Amino acid sequence: MKLDLLAIAAHPDDVELTCGGTLLKAAEQGYKTGILDLTAGEMGTRGTPETRLKESAKAARILRVAHRENLRLPDAHLEVTKDTKLAVARRIRDLQPHTVILPYWEGRHPDHYTAARLGYEGCFLAGLKQLPIEGEAFRPFKILYSTVYFRDVRPTFVVDISRHYNRRYEAILAYHSQFSPKAKDKKSKVDIPLDRLHHEVNLIARYYGQMAGVEYAEPFLVKEVMQVEDVVKLPVRSV
């Protein structure tokens, strides 16, 4: 399989919460999209790995991704090792994504920033012809970093997901075990009530949409300079 866009994240539901609208928009534009979850989230307070895998499959259908898989690396113990880097490199060679979305390289959860480094190094190693793994050497052309929960980080650009916001939110709600806690769990400090989830998802998407003069948007950062061919047709008003 040769993907146009691949999102790599630490846990099931990470992609839906950070760049699900962008994946959905790309799929509707005719691009072949995919998601690579590194862990099954087995250390989470709610749900089981099996439940979360079923939920992630449902969310993938909602987002219309062509491929989704889970590497089943250890949740809460994600590390950058030779074995984990080669595991990612194998998938990069097999899926051959042109563009890869990674989590931002900083964060509260160690798995998130570890996933960023692991994804980058896996992408780099996949392009080494002498790397002793199966598959033809391949390296993605572009790496994007999702900065949706880092409002102190100014994004390089945002993607307008106004038309895709509702369906993206539907994909988030596919994780019923995470966002619809049972009554006995109501006092748990890690519960995310649906009203709070709706408010936060809406607020964040509107915040980044406001930056570009649209209703809803998702932010991304790139490390390299962006090239522009036509300065007359640049979007987003300056004054």
pLDDT at 36: 98
User: How far is 107 from 110, CA to CA, in rounded Å?
Assistant: 7
pLDDT digits (tens, 9 = 90+) for 189-222: 445 677 788 899 999 999 999 999 999 999 999 9
Q: Are the C-beta atoms of 40 and 72 separated by less than 8 Å? A: yes
pLDDT digits (tens, 9 = 90+) for 56-88: 999 999 999 999 999 999 998 999 999 999 999
pLDDT digits (tens, 9 = 90+) for 136-183: 999 999 999 999 999 899 999 999 999 999 999 999 999 988 886 554
pTM (2 decimals)? 0.92
pLDDT at 196: 83
Domains of the chain, by residue range, sit at 5-222
Q: Which CATH class is domain 5-222?
A: alpha beta
